[in-house]
Structure 1
Amino acid sequence: MSLSTTDRSLLDPAIRRLNALRPLSSAARASLEYAMLEGVQHAGANEDLVSEGDPVDSVRIVLSGWLCRYKMLEDGRRQIVNFILPGESCDAHVFLLSTMDHTIGALTPVVFAEVKRARFDSLLAADRSLAEAFLCETLVNNAVQREWAVNLGRRVALERVAHLFCEIFERLRPVGMVDGNSCAMPVTQMDLADATGLSVVHLNRTLQELRASGLIVLRDRTLVIKDLDALKDVALFSPGYLQVYRGGRERG
């Protein structure tokens, strides 16, 4: 099976993401590409891919579009506990548990690859570099969740929103989805409020403060960071927890 240019373009974010965490062998890349292509699926905006309490028997890898993990309270309030960006998986090892403890929903139209557990297990068993890459991704996801806990528990509103923007920018960079100092930001103010634990009114005021400070421009579903170093200072942001190894050599 040969991959067309279109196929490779679709799969590129996932391959680049994993390869940034651990250099993949040529065989691992080829095996994963074929497995992903066989399981390509689509979902519309505001559609849930899997709900809290559902059984899980597969791994979903995002190829394009944005999703979120979220929890709902009985009174309808939503807490977004993380965004899932192009190239990232929806928990590579979640099928080891019996059911989902949160819901994964699409914020935009998405394309994703669904790889069944048996196929995924065989891929990891066949190549150590791939197993290490997915394990690294799981560990990074854990680190991101810890950072989000600090965001909600200790950072003030301005720091929370600035930190979220810095993190998204740095997570999109390894998959080639930043353009200079700008990146996509295809989420609503309600989404941002639910991710930062703020009311929409407070979130809007915070965005206005960041704009007035000359740090960002947020328009037409695009975030422009005017001064990344200054935004990181405001956010008390250090990217070390994202554990992205730049410039690694591919294994043979």
Structure 2
Amino acid sequence: MDKQHYLERLVLKLETHVPLPPAEREKLLQLPLTLKRLEANHDIVREGELTQQCCLVAEGLVCRYKIVGDGARQILSLHLPGDIPDIHSLLIERMDHCLGTLTPAVVGLIPHEAVRSLTRASYRVSEAFWRETLIEASIYREWMVGIGRRAAPSRIAHLLCEFITKMTAIGLSDGVICNLPLTQPEIADALGLSTVHMNKKLREIREARLVRIRVNRLTVLDWKGLCSLAEFDPDYLHLQPGAAKIKDD
């Protein structure tokens, strides 16, 4: 596993939101990284644990989640290669939720002190990480609106729009086709739906020929129609212009 390659993914992800000067890119590429390969459904950090390192998603799909009293899971966010979903642990060291893998994954562990030293030395890198946390908050707000006010078909369509837009921004989709390594129960856990209801409404979206999903592969057949159903406006992702241009047939 090439550590440099995975740190380049971090730089790419940060630059989907803000350009970085060459000197700052180089500093990020010098971060110490310990790589770990994990199976699907493996906890990286559990709720209540104290952390001394940040987790870079190098490969695979990672999520934040909480378990409620009856054992049901609520997925709070999805994280793609290049994300550091626990960057907040630099300042809030005790986890108030779990961070785990949804697929087989490779994660890179970066000591807190190394990240702190870098952010103290470079205000541009510090601003880039700060921007990431603010954009995460923006995404949380959009998910909250979806779960609270959107009908199930709109929620599902919105998740699909967001997922392929983010995958396109980091070069893992052409804007039409992308891997979607989520099971229907996992999508239901992210959207606050029962699996049965999720299955029914996803089938309606497929029958309307908005998307095709086969063997964990998502193909968008009607982007305008999918966005209309989702009420999807990508502004809340705060991507750089041209970072995720979706083909609009």
TM-score tier by shorter-chain length is over 0.9
> Quick one: percent identity of the two aligned structures?
37
- For residues 28 and 126 of structure 1, the distance between their equivalents in structure 2, rounded to whole angstroms, comes to 10
- For residues 29 and 238 of structure 2, the distance between their equivalents in structure 1, rounded to whole angstroms, comes to 23
| Cα displacement (A) at 1:25 | 2.0
Q: Which residues of structure 2 form unaligned runs of 5+? A: 244-249
Distance 1:126 1:50, change over 3 A: same
* Kept in 2: contact 1:163–1:232 (CA 8 A): yes
- For residues 230 and 9 of structure 1, the distance between their equivalents in structure 2, rounded to whole angstroms, comes to 37
- For residues 43 and 230 of structure 2, the distance between their equivalents in structure 1, rounded to whole angstroms, comes to 31
- 2:246 paired residue number: none
Of residues 5, 12, 15 in structure 1, which corresponds to 2:8?
A: 12
Figure out how many residues of one structure are paired with residues of the other and give that number. 243
Distance 1:247 1:75, change over 3 A: closer
Distance 1:102 1:177, change over 3 A: same
| Cα displacement (A) at 1:205 | 0.7
Of residues 18, 21, 24 in structure 2, which corresponds to 1:25?
A: 21
- 2:183 paired residue number: 188
- For residues 58 and 173 of structure 1, the distance between their equivalents in structure 2, rounded to whole angstroms, comes to 28
Q: What is the letter of the counterpart of residue 206 of structure 1?
A: K
- 1:110 paired residue number: 105
What root-mean-square deviation, in Å, do the aligned CA atoms of Structure 1 and Structure 2 show?
A: 1.7
* Kept in 1: contact 2:8–2:29 (CA 8 A): no
- 1:208 paired residue number: 203
Q: Partner of 1:171: helix, strand, or coil?
A: helix
Distance 1:81 1:154, change over 3 A: same
Matching of residue 34 in structure 1 with residue 42 in structure 2:
no
TM-score norm. by structure 2 comes to 0.92
| Cα displacement (A) at 1:74 | 2.2
Distance 1:44 1:167, change over 3 A: same
Q: CA-to-partner distance for each residue in 1:173-224, whole Å, 9 max, x for gaps?
A: 2210113401110011110010111111111111110111010011111111
Q: Partner of 1:165: helix, strand, or coil?
A: helix
Q: CA-to-partner distance for each residue in 1:56-105, whole Å, 9 max, x for gaps?
A: 22211111100111110122111111111111111312231141110011
TM-score norm. by structure 1 comes to 0.91
Q: What is the letter of the counterpart of residue 239 of structure 1?
A: P
Q: Partner of 2:213: helix, strand, or coil?
A: strand
Q: What is the letter of the counterpart of residue 138 of structure 1?
A: T
Which of 1 and 2 has higher RCO (CA within 8 Å, sep 6+)? Answer: 1
